[in-house]
């Protein structure tokens, strides 16, 4: 039910929700037609981690947590009529957002630093970036000779970032010994290469500025999104089209190349499905500097292409959910959209003003990790790593469709006078078309098609 109250020349819209156990609902015979947000008070608080003091002037906040560490951002609005708070907290100052749900204790939900400040009337607005972004602020000019990955990580983090190194938060699956040189590579790219050299570990910074490097993990979500647990849901069967082309940039230090593997049958099938004027190409591009040959790159591209499949994705609008985390596994049931299965959480957006929480989800199946990263609204993607764009590209096309070639043959006849070549090129080419048409012109008849 929606009621409107008139104040002067403006209207204020108020949403009123009824539940069957209210006397008012029973008296008027009202029944709820859609789920309404449960009474779960969510309270956010802003703190200065350097002093532990609360910044009590917080008016509103929006927080985004995501599977991709470089999509973790927030925005806070503070009552600051004289701009005193703005002056006290310059850019790059660390701040923390704590949250309490349903009257419970406050828990740290977001830690980051001020990246941008703006003013409006009596308020100051801060745009915050998570501490992970310290890993994108430096470039690497270093050479390591016969050093384990763990030692390289420690040196990079302690010399190039303000993050705290805690050995308990670093778990390298395969701590190989490497000899490597980086000349101006972004730090996050270098860390990604070290991750690939081991076992594809995730890395980043937690909300208290501690660096971590660990195997990927997922937990059971404290919330499932079934009927009565969400306000709205939207799932698309074609939320992610089938990937039918994989391009890989491989190698480093001069020995580089690129390989592209395509599934032409899939491209033609999508063309027919969507009525497109040409084959539909859905491409994914990856960079693997640790691959040393074209054969390895080709094998890797073929494996990615073979493993990719359509993974259903969707968005759920709910409330609360302060304890759910990206990567959590949950049950989702939306009967009217034929959704009933296990999904992983890709991204969560908390809006304190509206009280709504928007959750992006991906079906929990093979290949979901890449999809979770793609669903995250990154500031800039880690997959945009430096690749040799000038490397020669080897195109490999899988032609599983039968190729039919139609050939049309036409036969013509043309009458040529018997004396036409009597005076040929040696005598000035009189009448000879080969010698420029001759002095008396081409005397041949018209061409006549006979077949």
According to the per-residue pLDDT averaged within each range, which of 61-75, 265-279, 292-306 is highest?
A: 61-75
The DSSP letter of residue 403 is P
- Residue 253 has a pLDDT of 65
Structurally, what CATH architecture does the domain formed by 137-214 represent?
A: 3-Layer(bab) Sandwich (3.55)
The tokens of 290 are what?
A: 């640790």
- Residue 7 has a pLDDT of 45
Q: Looking at the predicted structure, is the pLDDT value of residue 285 above 90?
A: no
Q: What are phi and psi of 385, to 5 degrees?
A: -75, 160
Average the pLDDT over each of 187-191, 295-299, 394-398, 399-403 and give the range with the smallest value: 399-403
- Residue 358 has a pLDDT of 96
- Residue 78 has a pLDDT of 97
- For residue 127, count other CB atoms closer than 10 A to its CB: 15
Distance CA 240, CA 368 (A): 11
Boundaries of every domain in the chain: 1-33, 137-214, 232-398, 406-451
Distance CA 361, CA 66 (A): 11
Question: pLDDT for 188-225, tens place per residue?
Answer: 999 999 998 998 899 999 999 999 999 988 899 999 99
Distance CA 211, CA 3 (A): 50
The DSSP H or E segment spanning 153 is helix 149-160
Which residue, among 357, 364, 360, 291, has the nearest Cα to 68 in the 3D structure?
A: 360
Q: Looking at the predicted structure, is the pLDDT value of residue 396 above 60?
A: no
Q: Looking at the predicted structure, is the pLDDT value of residue 116 above 50?
A: yes
Residue 448 three-state SS: strand
- Residue 33 has a pLDDT of 56
**Which has more pLDDT, 414 or 174?**
174
Which residue, among 63, 67, 109, 104, has the nearest Cα to 328 in the 3D structure?
A: 67
* Dihedral angle computed from the Cα positions of residues 146, 151, 152 and 158, in that order, rounded to the nearest 10 degrees: -150
Contacts of 121 (CB under 8 A, 6+ apart): none
Average the pLDDT over each of 10-19, 41-50, 113-122 and give the range with the smallest value: 10-19
Mean pLDDT, the chain, integer: 80
- Residue 380 has a pLDDT of 38
CA 131 to chain centre: 19
Q: Looking at the predicted structure, is the pLDDT value of residue 92 above 70?
A: yes
Say how many Å lie between the first and final Cα of the chain, rounded.
79
What's the whole-number mean pLDDT along residues 57-79? 94
């Amino acid at each position: 039910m929606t009621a409107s109250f008139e104040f002067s020349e403006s209207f204020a819209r108020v949403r009123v929700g009824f539940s069957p156990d209210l006397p008012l609902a029973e008296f008027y015979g009202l029944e709820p037609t859609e789920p309404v947000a449960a009474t779960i008070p969510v309270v956010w608080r802003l703190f200065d981690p350097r002093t532990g003091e609360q910044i009590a002037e917080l008016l509103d906040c929006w927080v985004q947590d995501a599977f991709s560490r470089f999509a973790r951002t927030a925005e806070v609005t503070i009552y600051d009529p004289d701009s005193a708070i703005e002056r006290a907290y310059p850019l790059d100052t660390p701040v923390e957002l704590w949250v309490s749900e349903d009257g419970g204790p406050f828990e740290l939900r977001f830690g980051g630093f001020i990246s941008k400040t703006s003013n409006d009337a009596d308020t100051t607005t801060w745009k915050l970036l998570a501490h992970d972004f310290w890993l994108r602020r430096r470039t690497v000019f270093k050479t390591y000779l016969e050093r384990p990955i763990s030692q390289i990580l420690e040196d990079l983090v302690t010399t190039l970032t303000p993050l705290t190194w805690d050995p308990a938060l670093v778990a390298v699956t395969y701590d190989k010994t490497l000899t490597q040189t980086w000349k101006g590579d972004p730090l996050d790219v270098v860390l990604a290469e070290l991750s690939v050299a081991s076992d594809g570990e995730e890395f980043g910074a937690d909300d208290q500025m501690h660096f971590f490097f660990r195997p990927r993990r997922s937990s059971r979500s404290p919330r499932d999104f079934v009927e009565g647990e969400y306000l709205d849901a939207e799932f698309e069967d074609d939320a992610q089209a089938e990937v039918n082309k994989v391009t890989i940039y491989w190698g480093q230090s001069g020995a580089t190349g690129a390989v592209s593997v395509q599934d032409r049958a899939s491209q033609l099938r999508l063309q027919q499905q969507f009525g497109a004027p040409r084959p539909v190409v859905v491409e994914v591009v990856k960079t693997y500097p640790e691959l040393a040959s074209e054969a390895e790159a080709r094998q890797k591209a073929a494996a990615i292409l073979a493993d990719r499949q359509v993974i259903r994705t969707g968005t759920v609008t709910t409330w609360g959910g302060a304890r759910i985390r990206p990567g959590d596994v949950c049950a989702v049931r939306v009967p009217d959209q034929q959704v009933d299965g296990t999904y992983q959480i890709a991204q969560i957006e908390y809006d304190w003003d509206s009280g709504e929480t928007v959750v992006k989800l991906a079906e929990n199946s093979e290949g979901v990790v890449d999809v979770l990263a793609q669903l995250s609204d990154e500031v800039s993607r880690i997959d945009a790593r430096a690749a040799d764009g000038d490397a020669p590209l080897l195109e490999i096309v899988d032609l599983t469709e039968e190729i039919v070639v139609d050939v049309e043959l036409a036969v013509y006849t043309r009458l040529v006078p018997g004396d036409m070549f009597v005076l040929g090129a040696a005598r000035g080419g009189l009448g000879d078309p080969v010698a420029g048409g001759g002095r008396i012109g081409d005397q041949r008849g018209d061409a006549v098609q006979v077949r």
